[in-house]
Amino acid sequence: MRKKIVAGNWKMNTTLQEGVNLAKTVRRLHNNVQDKEVGVILAAPFTHLSELCNALAGSTILVAAQNCASETKGAFTGEVSVDMIKSVGCKAVIIGHSERRAYYHETNALLKKKAELLLKANLTPIFCCGETLAERESGKLFDVIKSQISEAIFEFNHDDFQKIIIAYEPVWAIGTGVTATAAQAQEMHAYIRQLIAEKYGRPVAEEITILYGGSCKGSNAKELFSNPDVDGGLIGGAALDAEDFIKIITSF
């Protein structure tokens, strides 16, 4: 049975003190949640990671980084390596977020390198994929998703591939207040699972967690999560409000 997960992506928000306080509040509220079967991840800025790992020690809430370098070490000023991230206690890393693709021109080939490094270090890649509004309206949405996934993570063996979490994020629904309908989310999640089944077989496809990331909040999470192929969410703005984030976690 595949894992249900809610991951909060704080992006470039909160000071260290604000971030620690937010994490502590999430932990306190999460202690009152009866069903602990849903995995919870907080993806924070690099400056916060060590303190957050300390603040959440002993809880079931995991800490993730929002990116990582594509090299192991060396003269790459400003970059943060996989080993550095692992050394502070992180368990996962988001790669391929639409903002990284759009603003920093990250390619599928680059993301494959990052995924390889993460898997080698036994960290969980949270691999993002998604289409823009123009790509959706032109009918290219499925081709875009297929190329993003196949070119970046379809060359891994069965064992490694099963360690990856996939997050589908319709770019047209991120930070816009527009949310894909439950049917649109299900359609793409089912398509992604079918791609995996064709490559790795149906049993592997049924075990892969696929998250929805596109203006998911407490008010619409239940409808989105009711879809058979939507296994949780990669949450942006709503993750900055502890009560709303907890409401999303309890929406299954």
At residue 82 the predicted structure's pLDDT band, cuts being 50, 70 and 90, is very high
Answer yes or no: 48 catalytic. no
Residue 174 pLDDT: 77
Task: Name the active-site residue from 30, 97, 131, 189.
Answer: 97
Tell me the C-alpha distance between 210 and 204, whole Å.
Answer: 12
Residue 215 pLDDT: 86
Encoded tokens for 67: 């990116």
Task: Name the active-site residue from 106, 131, 135, 169.
Answer: 169
> Residue 177: is its pLDDT beyond 80?
no
User: Closest Cα to residue 46, out of 71, 62, 21, 64?
Assistant: 64
The per-residue pLDDT for range 131-163, each reduced to its tens digit, is 998 899 899 999 999 999 999 999 999 999 999
Do 100 and 43 contact (CB within 8 A), yes or no? no
Answer yes or no: 97 catalytic. yes
Residue 35 pLDDT: 79
Structural domains of the chain, ranges and CATH numbers in brackets: 9-28+39-52+61-69+78-249 (3.20.20.70)
Percentage of the chain with pLDDT > 90? Answer: 92
Percentage of the chain with pLDDT > 70? Answer: 99
> Residue 99: is its pLDDT beyond 80?
yes
